[in-house]
Amino acid sequence: MQLIGTIIRIIKKFKIDLIREENLIIAGIPAFIAAMLTRTPYVTWLGGFERKVLGMKYQHGLIIPVLKYAIIVLEYVIFRFARIVCTVSPSSLR
């Protein structure tokens, strides 16, 4: 919550008219919430899917399906409301 408040104060102080975020999990959620609260358009930069990274890092485990589903929901919401979604890899579109 403190990060979101800080982002909102920065947006207002410097009259930011566009937010760009690069990481869905770390920066995506606070940037999305701050953008919605201040009605500031945002752009998301998709370097690769976090679902694949989680699968490679943890490989097996009960938590993986839950995390993958949560990320799918985040992707849907954040990408749906983004003005632009940029990608650096064609495999990111799958």
Residue 39 DSSP class: T
Reading the chain (94 residues) residue by residue, the pLDDT tens digits are 899 999 999 999 999 999 988 877 777 889 899 999 999 999 988 766 666 776 676 666 777 778 778 888 888 888 899 998 887 766 655 5
CATH classification (class only), 2-93: alpha beta
CA distances to 20, 31, 46, 73 from 91, rounded to whole Å, are 21, 24, 11, 19
Query: What are the residue boundaries of the structural domains of the chain, listed by start?
Result: 2-93
Q: pTM for the full model?
A: 0.75
